[in-house]
Amino acid sequence: MLGVWEDGWVRKLLLAGCFLFAFSSVSAAQNYPRWEIFGGYAGYLAASETQGGPYYTHGVRASASRAFTSYFRLVGDFTAEFADHVVDLQPLPLPPGVKHVNSKELLGLFGPEATYRGFKKFDVFAHYLIGVSYGRDNVNELPKIPTASYTTWAYSIGAGADWKVKRQVAMRLLEADWVTTHYPMMNTEAQDNWRLSSGVVFRIGRGR
């Protein structure tokens, strides 16, 4: 039993459950948007084991959520990060003079999200999402070819805040996610990454 508890994903799952319970238990029933569509910037602090990382990269993110009550919704989430060292699938450090070029990581996640809507101008939320991550790693050899690619499962725990500009529009001031991937790098441990997001949220329909 102790070994199971020591697994990082168990602790993260319990933490996510605490977030969801805390938000859902205090949220009052009220009018809420049925759909929320988010699009914006995503910065990614990516782990790297062979090139001296971690590295901060830039990308884009989009998500769509369907609310079933004022405090509970399901979210589908997609992130694309394009930069050197987003993923590092090389089994060994690259030779001198050779570097990563245009490596990328794509994330597709899905899961529950709890939202507290009791503030006049702000909504706050937390979620636990699970899905897949695809990584592709290129180097600057000629001809430039993908040196490695891999698809693995991934999950994230995150929270954020939206500023309600109008009934139909909100600004996502900040969302922070702890994203875990399982690429086959130098050891068998998972890679823990941080993702920071901000952008625009379109609020469509009414839940009641």
Domains of the chain: 2-204 (2.40.160.20)
Residue 49: helix, strand or coil by DSSP?
A: coil
Q: Please give the Cα distance from 105 to 153 (Å, whole number).
A: 12
Q: Is 205 left (phi over 0), alpha (psi -120 to 50) or beta?
A: left
* Distance separating alpha carbons of residues 162 and 112, to the nearest angstrom: 17
| pLDDT tens-place values along the chain, 208 residues long | 334 334 565 556 556 555 555 544 444 445 789 999 999 999 988 766 555 567 788 999 999 999 999 999 999 999 999 877 777 776 666 777 777 777 889 999 999 999 999 898 999 999 999 999 998 888 777 666 667 788 999 999 999 999 999 989 999 999 999 999 988 765 567 888 899 999 999 999 875 5
Encoded amino acid at 206, one letter: R
Distance of CA 122 to the CA centre of its chain: 21
